[in-house]
Structure 1
Amino acid sequence: MPVFTLNAIRHAKVRLRPQADMAHAERQNHARLGLSEVDLAATDYPLFLMKHAQSGRFTLCALFALEGERSWYMLGGGWQATYLPEALLRYPFFLAPAEDRDAVLGLAVEESSPRLHDREGAALFGPDGTPSTAATRVADQLARHRLDLDAAAGFAAALAAEGIVRPLSLRLRFADGRENQVEGLYGIGAEALAGLSDTAILRLHHAGHLRAAHVMMASANQLYRLQQLHNAGATTALTELAFTVRD
């Protein structure tokens, strides 16, 4: 969907309605997480790392599906989880590119969002063209989330630096006989973590990364939750799911 820089003239009459549902997230199969989200996100989602093709850097993500371009958590018209990642809650707003100096409060917005209206909701700008409290609140939320994403990037980089990031082997088998070997996901090798030196363990602990690593490892079992959600809404059941982090 097209995203436009937030502008006091273009969006002078735009209002923001409350988040009615999570329909906008139906087309997402994963979302990036901030480091502070790990504990809560792990109660609902499997957490893994994805590698950026160009930079080779890892990002921390919550998985919403194991194949396809839609979320398996969107079922029966509702989002079937207790925790909603910040990346979903900030919709329809995004941080504008740093070089875009015309973006009010550094924001961009997806104008086709049903949350935006010309009569209902909280105004984004006052009569004099200044950002409203609602717009400022959104900007503050996104700024905090950006810092949290940076912290998650530091966490992923620390794991990679210690040499404990390992590819995930994930095989799916469906009732019609189709099989799929899912690629591109990474976890933490249990043996690799156990084999770290005391110095490395302390380094991860003091950085606050060791606990997050263990929570992330435990969240892998939420893959079976994804299997349940798929089978609740799909015509062809996912009959077998086998995974291991290749140590």
Structure 2
Amino acid sequence: MANHVLLNNIEHKNLKINAERSAVMGDNVWYAQTFPMEFRSAQAHYPILFQKDSNTGQFMPVTLFGFQNDDNLFLKEGKWDATYIPLSMQRLPFYIGQQNVVKDGVTEEERVITIDLDSPKVNTEQGIDLFLEYGGNSDYLEHIANVLETLHLGLQENNDFIEAMVTCELLESVTLDIELNDGSKNQLMGFYTINEDNLNNLPQDKLIRLHNAGFLQAIYMVIASQVHIHDLVARKNAQITSK
């Protein structure tokens, strides 16, 4: 169970973060949330698909790392086998929190950094220091703060992006049939992708609005990323062979 607390340089002055990327360190997730500003970097390595929240009906774009729960095919010998790690994974075990602060007699909400103390990445013996000797932030923690801010802004942008996708009827359910070298056949279900027929038939005014919002380029990056599904199959086959 997660144990999120507000990070501070007094109680947590001796904390370190284990930078290993492995299942033991909690990185064995098979997809993670992403956002349009990240698509350019993410599409170079991962398929980008969409998931639908069963409770809210809200769509979200995700980067796919594998084909089933607890199977991240990019984990290899304690490292992440790609030159770009999505920000929603980079930030772990840190999260964005909110606290009320009073400025000139007015209470405002302020974003703060929280940390999951129960994460296996967190310890006091080995890893990257969070704070300097006299309490200042380490370069690593400054990097994490930037990652969290970018992630916060990016996830906010998702709302407008998804609204545009739904309005233009550009999302469709997709089922991927995957046959592996060991003869096993698998179906990947529950995801959505871009309906290219609807995209190609959009009226010019809607295409212009998507372009002006910066979403048209993002859509084509999602489409281009689908080639990496074949790369994931190759990784899965290599995993089966190694076992």
- Shift of the alpha carbon at 1:92? 1.3
The C-alpha deviation readout for 1:17-45, integer Å capped at 9, x for no partner, is: 4x633223531101111321101111110
Gaps (5+ residues) in structure 1? Answer: 238-247
The C-alpha deviation readout for 1:104-160, integer Å capped at 9, x for no partner, is: 962221224454343564344876xx7735545533431221101211332122111
Q: Distance in 2 between matches of 1:104 and 1:209?
A: 29
Cα pair distance change 1:147/1:109, threshold 3 Å: same
- Shift of the alpha carbon at 1:215? 1.1
CA contact (8 A) 1:34 1:151 kept: yes
Q: Distance in 2 between matches of 1:7 and 1:223?
A: 38
Gaps (5+ residues) in structure 2? Answer: 102-108
CA contact (8 A) 2:174 2:192 kept: yes
> How many pairs were matched up?
232
Cα pair distance change 1:140/1:213, threshold 3 Å: same
**2:189 counterpart of 1:183:** yes
Q: Distance in 1 between matches of 2:181 and 2:239?
A: 14
- Shift of the alpha carbon at 1:75? 2.9
Matched with 1:241 is none
Question: Structure 1 stretch 222-231 or stretch 62-71: which is displaced more?
Answer: 62-71
- The amino acid that maps onto 2:92 is Y
- The amino acid that maps onto 1:142 is L
Matched with 2:20 is 21
Provide the identity percentage: 23
Q: TM-score, normalised by structure 2?
A: 0.82
Matched with 1:218 is 224
Aligned equivalent of 1:155, options 140, 156, 161: 161
Provide the alpha-carbon RMSD of the alignment: 2.9
Matched with 1:3 is 3
How do 1:77-226 residues align onto structure 2 when only pairs under 5 Å count? 77-96=78-97, 98=98, 101=100, 106-113=112-119, 115-118=121-124, 121-124=128-131, 132=137, 135=141, 137-175=143-181, 177-226=183-232
SS of residue matched to 1:26:
coil
CA contact (8 A) 1:13 1:118 kept: no
Q: Distance in 2 between matches of 1:180 and 1:236?
A: 19
- Shift of the alpha carbon at 1:73? 1.2
CA contact (8 A) 1:126 1:132 kept: no
